[in-house]
Structure 1
Amino acid sequence: MAEPTTFNTEIAVHPRLQHIGLTTGNLEPLLAWYETVLGMQAMHTSEDPTGLRSQGLEVKAVWLSNDEQNHRMAIIEIPGLEPDPERARHHRLQHLAFEYNTVEELLGTYVRLKREAILPVLAVDEGLQTAFYYADPDQNVIEINVNNYGDPFTAIEHMRSSTDFAHRPLGVHVDPGLMVEAREAGANAWQLHKRAWNNEFAPEQPWDPTVLL
């Protein structure tokens, strides 16, 4: 008689997101950008990941991480790839997100990147979180955010039951610089969120929703 199976074949198991993969035609600017923005460091570089360089396949690969995982990102350089000027109007992965622990980390990163002339293409208080979106050299959009509640389960409840989220699921646009000034003046994380939701940090130039990210 066959032994009964000892593994679950009935209910979906929820795996954790481990890493993302990108392709590019211009590797070095991308590596520099991810090191500057997210602190990504190369874990391993291969000049011939396919083993076919001798046959003319000029491919390079780099594996990167900014935490305890062996890699959070893999970037493959394929010579000849070109930017797509109509990318925003094609099917694509719209953005990738990375989470900070505190609003101070988020705002401090904004200030640091601004010194490097790296500015958000969009900044939003989304109710359950505050998020700044940046475009890398290949125009992939990277979100950095912080949970406004400081607790993932409360944020889940916000998404499920808050009238704020139901009425404005895409949140309100903010000027990160104004948030930095308010935090330096003594506003705590929750006060920043409530003031943002009241449009106290609205940017001078409203975001144009017809400009697709």
Structure 2
Amino acid sequence: MFHHTTFTTLKLDEMVAFYENVAGLEPVYYGENAAWLTNDAANHRIALLALPGMKAPDDKGHTIGLHHTAFEHRSFEQWIDNYDRLAAQGIEPFLNLDHGMTMSMYYQDPEGNGVEIQVDAFGDWAKSKEFMWASEEFDRNPIGMHFDPAKVSAAHRAGLSFEEIHAKATAGEYLPAVIPEVYLPEFW
């Protein structure tokens, strides 16, 4: 079972604040050069190391390596409420995809790492797995359909159910004005 991810950082305080705000992680330990955070019963899910001598990467958004780390909300309502809360603070995702098995919003942390905030479209991981390996839809388009989260939020406020919104998103009814690239945006 996967347990945690460790990041090195030049911005420890900003990174702790970001992961608290965006993904609901709280520090278990927060020191001068490191912090360990969790959002469940585990001792930590993310470790942040601010080691002396660290250097900013070259062209981080366009090189190989870790693309993003994902966090899942238990319900569509929690997920869309999180979007609304963050948007009110001026924190917007750079990419939004309905992958078929999840609806996902992608943010960047203060070091330029991708952070996916998702909700499972089936509410059942077995069904999500089956969708990935058995559906022609996923085989044809494993990246999924882009969507505008403001349009999804408006549909939710108008009373549409998650199932209705998900169906409309996969049909391309909530496309953004500009389709972004899937790679991480330039950061450094």
Same fold (TM over 0.5): yes
Can you give the 5+ residue segments of structure 1 that lack an aligned partner in the other structure?
1-15, 48-59
8 A Cα contact 2:61 2:112, kept in partner: no
Aligned partner of 2:18 among 27, 33, 37? 33
Can you give the 5+ residue segments of structure 2 that lack an aligned partner in the other structure?
none
Alignment of 1:30-179 (within 5 A): 30-47=15-32, 60-179=33-152
1:85 positional shift: 4.2
How big is the alpha-carbon RMSD for the aligned residues of Structure 1 and Structure 2? 1.3
What does the per-residue CA deviation read over 1:68-97, in whole Å, with 9 as the maximum and x for residues that have no partner? 111111111023423324112322111111
Counterpart amino acid of residue 13 in structure 2: E
Counterpart Cα distance in 2 of 1:32 and 1:115: 16
1:67 positional shift: 1.3
Counterpart Cα distance in 2 of 1:82 and 1:29: 17
| Structure (1 or 2) with the larger CA radius of gyration | 1
8 A Cα contact 1:127 1:171, kept in partner: yes
8 A Cα contact 1:25 1:80, kept in partner: no
User: Which structure is richer in relative contact order (CA contacts within 8 A, separation 6 or more)?
Assistant: 2
Instruction: Calculate percent identity across the aligned residue pairs.
Output: 34
Counterpart Cα distance in 2 of 1:26 and 1:114: 22
TM-score by length of 2: 0.93
TM-score by length of 1: 0.82
What does the per-residue CA deviation read over 1:164-187, in whole Å, with 9 as the maximum and x for residues that have no partner? 111111000000110011111111
8 A Cα contact 1:125 1:131, kept in partner: yes
1:111 positional shift: 0.7
Number of equivalent positions: 184
Runs in 1 of length 4+ with deviation above 3 angstroms? none
